[in-house]
Amino acid sequence: MERRKLFLRIDQMLQGSFSLNELNLLFIFQLDCPGLYSYGIPQANALHRQFHDQGLNVLGLSTAYDNPAFNSARNTRLLLLNRLGSPVGSSLWEQDAGLQSIDFPVGFDYLVSQDAFETEYLPEFWDHQQWSFCQNKVRLRAEERPEIRAFIRRFERVPLTFLFNVFVGVPGWVLFDRHLNIIHRWYGCQPLPETQLLVAHWLETQPQAKPAYRPSSPVSW
Protein backbone atom coordinates (compact mmCIF):
# COMPACT_ATOMS: atom_id res chain seq x y z
CA MET A 1 0.00 0.00 0.00
CA GLU A 2 1.30 3.43 -0.94
CA ARG A 3 2.21 5.62 1.99
CA ARG A 4 0.30 8.73 2.85
CA LYS A 5 1.84 11.91 1.44
CA LEU A 6 2.91 14.88 3.49
CA PHE A 7 1.28 18.11 2.38
CA LEU A 8 3.92 20.81 2.83
CA ARG A 9 3.49 24.50 2.15
CA ILE A 10 6.08 27.03 3.30
CA ASP A 11 5.30 30.71 2.99
CA GLN A 12 8.85 31.84 3.73
CA MET A 13 12.12 30.59 5.14
CA LEU A 14 13.14 32.49 8.26
CA GLN A 15 16.47 30.77 8.90
CA GLY A 16 18.69 28.80 6.58
CA SER A 17 17.48 26.80 3.59
CA PHE A 18 15.80 23.43 3.51
CA SER A 19 16.58 20.62 1.10
CA LEU A 20 14.78 17.32 0.62
CA ASN A 21 16.99 14.34 1.42
CA GLU A 22 16.28 10.62 1.56
CA LEU A 23 15.14 11.12 5.18
CA ASN A 24 13.68 14.35 6.55
CA LEU A 25 12.08 15.43 9.81
CA LEU A 26 9.35 18.05 10.01
CA PHE A 27 9.06 19.69 13.44
CA ILE A 28 5.92 21.86 13.48
CA PHE A 29 5.41 24.22 16.39
CA GLN A 30 3.57 27.28 17.64
CA LEU A 31 5.24 30.04 19.65
CA ASP A 32 2.79 30.08 22.55
CA CYS A 33 3.21 26.37 23.31
CA PRO A 34 5.23 25.83 26.53
CA GLY A 35 6.34 22.44 25.25
CA LEU A 36 8.26 24.16 22.46
CA TYR A 37 10.81 25.54 24.92
CA SER A 38 10.99 22.75 27.48
CA TYR A 39 10.97 19.87 25.03
CA GLY A 40 10.55 20.64 21.33
CA ILE A 41 13.55 22.82 20.56
CA PRO A 42 16.01 20.81 22.71
CA GLN A 43 14.93 17.53 21.11
CA ALA A 44 14.95 18.87 17.54
CA ASN A 45 18.41 20.35 18.14
CA ALA A 46 19.66 17.03 19.51
CA LEU A 47 18.37 15.11 16.48
CA HIS A 48 19.81 17.65 14.06
CA ARG A 49 23.23 17.58 15.73
CA GLN A 50 23.38 13.79 15.94
CA PHE A 51 22.01 12.81 12.54
CA HIS A 52 22.53 15.69 10.11
CA ASP A 53 25.88 14.38 8.89
CA GLN A 54 24.28 10.95 8.41
CA GLY A 55 21.66 12.36 6.05
CA LEU A 56 18.74 13.59 8.18
CA ASN A 57 17.45 17.02 7.21
CA VAL A 58 15.40 18.76 9.91
CA LEU A 59 12.89 21.49 9.10
CA GLY A 60 11.24 23.56 11.80
CA LEU A 61 7.91 25.00 10.72
CA SER A 62 6.26 27.70 12.80
CA THR A 63 2.47 27.71 12.43
CA ALA A 64 -0.56 29.59 13.75
CA TYR A 65 -3.70 27.55 14.27
CA ASP A 66 -4.82 30.19 16.77
CA ASN A 67 -3.73 33.66 17.93
CA PRO A 68 -2.04 34.56 14.61
CA ALA A 69 -1.23 38.05 15.89
CA PHE A 70 1.30 36.51 18.27
CA ASN A 71 2.14 33.27 16.45
CA SER A 72 3.54 35.16 13.49
CA ALA A 73 6.52 35.10 11.17
CA ARG A 74 7.75 38.33 12.76
CA ASN A 75 7.75 36.87 16.26
CA THR A 76 9.34 33.67 15.01
CA ARG A 77 12.21 35.78 13.70
CA LEU A 78 12.51 37.33 17.16
CA LEU A 79 12.65 33.85 18.64
CA LEU A 80 15.46 32.94 16.26
CA LEU A 81 17.32 36.06 17.39
CA ASN A 82 16.59 35.13 21.03
CA ARG A 83 14.71 38.41 21.47
CA LEU A 84 11.15 37.18 21.88
CA GLY A 85 11.15 37.31 25.67
CA SER A 86 8.81 35.14 27.71
CA PRO A 87 6.11 34.17 25.19
CA VAL A 88 3.90 32.16 27.55
CA GLY A 89 4.53 34.02 30.80
CA SER A 90 6.31 30.97 32.08
CA SER A 91 9.48 30.33 34.05
CA LEU A 92 10.30 27.76 31.36
CA TRP A 93 11.84 30.57 29.33
CA GLU A 94 14.28 31.22 32.14
CA GLN A 95 15.55 27.64 32.17
CA ASP A 96 18.59 26.63 30.18
CA ALA A 97 16.50 24.40 27.93
CA GLY A 98 14.33 27.33 26.94
CA LEU A 99 17.33 29.49 26.04
CA GLN A 100 18.74 27.15 23.41
CA SER A 101 19.36 28.57 19.99
CA ILE A 102 17.73 26.81 17.04
CA ASP A 103 20.37 25.16 14.90
CA PHE A 104 18.30 23.91 11.94
CA PRO A 105 16.38 25.62 9.11
CA VAL A 106 13.07 27.21 10.09
CA GLY A 107 10.19 28.30 7.89
CA PHE A 108 6.70 29.63 8.39
CA ASP A 109 3.49 27.82 7.48
CA TYR A 110 1.43 29.10 4.57
CA LEU A 111 -1.60 30.96 5.99
CA VAL A 112 -4.54 31.96 3.82
CA SER A 113 -7.83 33.74 4.44
CA GLN A 114 -11.09 31.84 4.79
CA ASP A 115 -12.22 33.12 1.39
CA ALA A 116 -9.00 32.04 -0.29
CA PHE A 117 -9.20 28.62 1.31
CA GLU A 118 -12.80 28.12 0.17
CA THR A 119 -12.08 29.14 -3.42
CA GLU A 120 -8.53 27.89 -3.98
CA TYR A 121 -7.80 25.05 -1.58
CA LEU A 122 -11.00 23.37 -0.43
CA PRO A 123 -11.31 20.94 -3.39
CA GLU A 124 -7.66 19.93 -2.95
CA PHE A 125 -8.26 19.50 0.79
CA TRP A 126 -11.18 17.12 0.17
CA ASP A 127 -9.14 15.15 -2.36
CA HIS A 128 -6.19 14.91 0.01
CA GLN A 129 -8.33 13.81 2.95
CA GLN A 130 -10.36 11.33 0.88
CA TRP A 131 -7.18 9.73 -0.41
CA SER A 132 -5.69 9.59 3.09
CA PHE A 133 -8.82 8.13 4.65
CA CYS A 134 -9.13 5.52 1.91
CA GLN A 135 -5.50 4.51 2.36
CA ASN A 136 -6.38 3.78 5.97
CA LYS A 137 -9.46 1.79 4.83
CA VAL A 138 -11.81 4.39 6.31
CA ARG A 139 -14.01 6.44 4.02
CA LEU A 140 -14.72 10.11 4.62
CA ARG A 141 -18.51 10.26 4.44
CA ALA A 142 -20.19 13.17 2.68
CA GLU A 143 -22.29 13.92 5.75
CA GLU A 144 -19.10 14.58 7.73
CA ARG A 145 -18.11 17.49 5.52
CA PRO A 146 -20.29 20.20 7.17
CA GLU A 147 -18.77 19.35 10.55
CA ILE A 148 -15.26 19.50 9.13
CA ARG A 149 -15.98 22.80 7.40
CA ALA A 150 -17.28 24.23 10.66
CA PHE A 151 -14.02 23.19 12.29
CA ILE A 152 -12.01 24.89 9.54
CA ARG A 153 -13.94 28.14 10.03
CA ARG A 154 -12.58 28.43 13.57
CA PHE A 155 -9.25 29.56 12.14
CA GLU A 156 -8.73 33.30 11.76
CA ARG A 157 -6.32 32.44 8.95
CA VAL A 158 -6.06 28.87 7.71
CA PRO A 159 -2.60 27.24 8.22
CA LEU A 160 -2.32 24.91 5.25
CA THR A 161 0.40 22.52 6.41
CA PHE A 162 -1.13 22.20 9.86
CA LEU A 163 -4.64 21.63 8.54
CA PHE A 164 -4.00 19.36 5.56
CA ASN A 165 -1.95 16.95 7.68
CA VAL A 166 -4.55 16.94 10.49
CA PHE A 167 -2.13 17.76 13.29
CA VAL A 168 -3.90 17.43 16.63
CA GLY A 169 -1.65 20.03 18.23
CA VAL A 170 1.96 21.02 18.64
CA PRO A 171 4.71 20.09 18.71
CA GLY A 172 4.12 17.69 15.84
CA TRP A 173 6.75 15.49 14.21
CA VAL A 174 6.83 13.78 10.81
CA LEU A 175 9.56 11.61 9.34
CA PHE A 176 9.25 11.60 5.54
CA ASP A 177 11.28 10.73 2.47
CA ARG A 178 12.43 12.66 -0.60
CA HIS A 179 9.08 12.04 -2.28
CA LEU A 180 7.08 13.35 0.72
CA ASN A 181 5.94 9.86 1.70
CA ILE A 182 5.22 9.81 5.43
CA ILE A 183 7.30 7.20 7.24
CA HIS A 184 6.30 7.90 10.83
CA ARG A 185 4.58 10.68 12.74
CA TRP A 186 3.94 11.50 16.37
CA TYR A 187 2.72 14.29 18.58
CA GLY A 188 3.98 15.89 21.77
CA CYS A 189 6.63 14.46 24.05
CA GLN A 190 8.37 11.22 23.14
CA PRO A 191 11.53 10.24 25.06
CA LEU A 192 14.63 11.27 23.15
CA PRO A 193 16.24 7.78 23.21
CA GLU A 194 13.13 6.34 21.50
CA THR A 195 13.27 9.01 18.83
CA GLN A 196 17.00 8.49 18.30
CA LEU A 197 16.47 4.75 17.79
CA LEU A 198 13.64 5.45 15.35
CA VAL A 199 15.69 7.88 13.26
CA ALA A 200 18.76 5.61 13.31
CA HIS A 201 16.65 2.68 12.10
CA TRP A 202 15.19 4.58 9.18
CA LEU A 203 18.53 6.07 8.18
CA GLU A 204 19.85 2.53 7.85
CA THR A 205 17.00 1.59 5.51
CA GLN A 206 17.21 4.62 3.20
CA PRO A 207 18.97 4.52 -0.18
CA GLN A 208 22.36 6.13 -0.48
CA ALA A 209 21.95 9.89 -0.28
CA LYS A 210 21.54 11.75 -3.56
CA PRO A 211 22.32 15.41 -4.20
CA ALA A 212 19.86 17.44 -2.14
CA TYR A 213 16.97 19.19 -3.80
CA ARG A 214 16.71 22.77 -2.56
CA PRO A 215 13.29 24.32 -3.22
CA SER A 216 12.78 28.04 -3.52
CA SER A 217 10.34 29.96 -1.30
CA PRO A 218 7.38 29.78 -1.20
CA VAL A 219 7.47 26.01 -1.41
CA SER A 220 4.63 24.10 -3.03
CA TRP A 221 4.69 20.40 -3.77
Check which CATH number belongs to the domain holding 94 and give it: 3.40.30.10
Over range 90-100, report the average pLDDT. Answer: 49
Do the strands 111-112 and 23-29 form a parallel or antiparallel pair, or are they unpaired? unpaired
Tens-place pLDDT, residues 32-90: 887 888 889 999 999 999 999 999 999 999 999 989 999 999 999 998 987 666 555 44
Residue 96 has pLDDT above 50, yes or no: no
Asked if residue 49 belongs to a domain, the reply is yes
CA of 202: how far to CAs of 16, 59, 117, 198, 205, in Å? 25, 17, 35, 6, 5
Residue 95 has pLDDT above 80, yes or no: no
* Predicted local confidence at residue 40, as pLDDT: 92
Asked if residue 18 belongs to a domain, the reply is yes
Over range 106-119, report the average pLDDT. Answer: 94
Report the domain count for the chain.
Answer: 1
Please choose, from the candidates 113, 74, 93, 73, the residue with its C-alpha nearest in 3D space to the C-alpha of residue 33. Answer: 93
Asked if residue 153 belongs to a domain, the reply is no
Asked if residue 189 belongs to a domain, the reply is yes
Residue 15 has pLDDT above 90, yes or no: yes
Share of residues in the chain with pLDDT > 90 (%): 55
Asked if residue 123 belongs to a domain, the reply is no
> pLDDT band for position 146 (50/70/90)?
confident
Structural domain range at position 207 = 9-111+160-220
Asked if residue 134 belongs to a domain, the reply is no
pTM of the full structure: 0.84
Asked if residue 124 belongs to a domain, the reply is no
What gap in Å lies between CA 78 and CA 100, rounded to an integer?
13
Asked if residue 141 belongs to a domain, the reply is no
